[in-house]
Amino acid sequence: VQHLYTPAAIATLTPCTFHPSFLPRDLADALLDELLADAPSWRPNSFRLFDRAVVSPHTSCFYASPSARSVFADTFYDSGSAIADVRTFGPALVRAQGIIEKIVNGELAARERMQWQYPGRWTADVALCNRYAGPRESVGMHSDRLTHLGPMPVIASISLGATREFRLRELVGTDKKTYSVHLPHNSLLIMHAPCQERFKHAVIPVHAVDLHPVAGAARINITYRMYRDCFAPRNIPQCKCAVPMILRCVSSPGPSEGRYFWACAAAYVREHGCDAFTWAQFTPDGDPIV
């Protein structure tokens, strides 16, 4: 594991950029207070993995801006299952949203656009929030779902409360490296394209953390995302189980490496899914062709 300690090192070795102490202090504190007050009602994620039921060792909740709620209504899905509890941004989430969008769009204007990457203005209209209540709560290596985001997405991740170690592991290449970044209170990590396609990431369990004066041992993570209407469930393929399919990318070496595909999502929420599979096609702007 190679530890990265500076924004320059992170930007050089990964498709990420790092901003320490990026929010005004009063807003960072208000955002932490707002989410800590809501967090006792958050729930663990449950899903199926290798034919067995799994419950995540941390709790989560999904939030959306008023504009996103009007577009997606009751069609928010995660791994084939409708998200029942979608909450509206509180005042601090709204204030942070504007700052996040300004930073991300400023960086995107200076970066090379990837093939199929959305060319328009990036908006932080939804946020998946996670609470790691203590040092042993974690999340294993994974890539974030592309289904609502489309290919080559951008995800902006805010850390609040206790500092935790975040790892990025390369999926492609002959010498796959793992990088470690420590994310303190009021820091922003932007995962640019092609982070979700070429890396997995995790928050690893540890024995102890330095206590935050308000959150104690807890860390709150906010991952702002842009949901695209063309990837809403009504606009993407459904499998034989009558469930919106999930969008994934082939990361294993071979002739199909880097290709996207639609697959059945039902196996993530029930014992058996179907064998539905189709290669994904996109317009030059990354809109799905179905």
pLDDT given for residue 223 in this prediction: 97
Fold of 2-230: Jelly Rolls (2.60.120)
**Which tokens sit at 245?**
């399919």
The pLDDT, as a whole number, for residue 47 is 55
So what's the pLDDT on residue 201? 97
SS (H, E, C) the chain: CEEECCHHHHHHHCCEEEEECCCCHHHHHHHHHHHHHHHHHCEEEEEEECCEEEEEEEEEEEEECHHHHHHHCCCCEECCEECCCEEECCHHHHHHHHHHHHHHHHHHHHCCCCCCCCCCCCCCCEEEEEEECCCCCCEEEECCCCCCCCCCCCEEEEEEECCEEEEEEECCCCCCCEEEEEECCCEEEEECCCHHHHEEEEECCCCCCCCECCCECCEEEEEEECCCHHHCHHHCCECCCCCECEEEECCCCCCCCCCEEEECCHHHCCCCCCCCEEECCECCCCCECC
Q: 197 — phi, psi (to 5°)?
A: -85, -30
Q: How would you write the pLDDT of the chain (290 residues) with one tens digit per residue?
A: 999 999 999 999 999 999 999 999 999 999 999 999 999 999 987 655 545 656 677 999 999 998 777 666 556 656 556 677 889 999 999 999 999 999 999 999 999 999 999 999 999 999 999 999 999 999 999 999 899 899 999 999 999 999 999 999 999 877 899 999 999 999 999 999 999 999 999 999 999 999 999 999 999 999 999 999 899 888 999 888 888 899 999 988 889 999 999 998 776 666 667 889 999 999 999 999 98
Full strand arrangement of the beta sheet holding 246-249: 246-249, 260-263, 277-279
- Res 269: pLDDT: 61
Q: Exposed (0-12), middle (13-18) or buried (19+): which is 289, by Cβ within 10 Å?
A: exposed
What pLDDT is stored for residue 162 in this prediction?
A: 98
Q: Please give the model's pTM, rounded to 2 decimal places.
A: 0.93
In whole angstroms, give the CA distance from residue 252 to residue 153: 20
C-alpha distances in Å from residue 148, one per residue of 137, 216, 229, 230:
27, 34, 8, 8
Domain ranges of the chain: 2-230, 233-279
Query: pLDDT value at position 54?
Result: 63
What are the phi and psi torsion angles at 9 (to 5°)? -65, -40
pLDDT for 172: 82
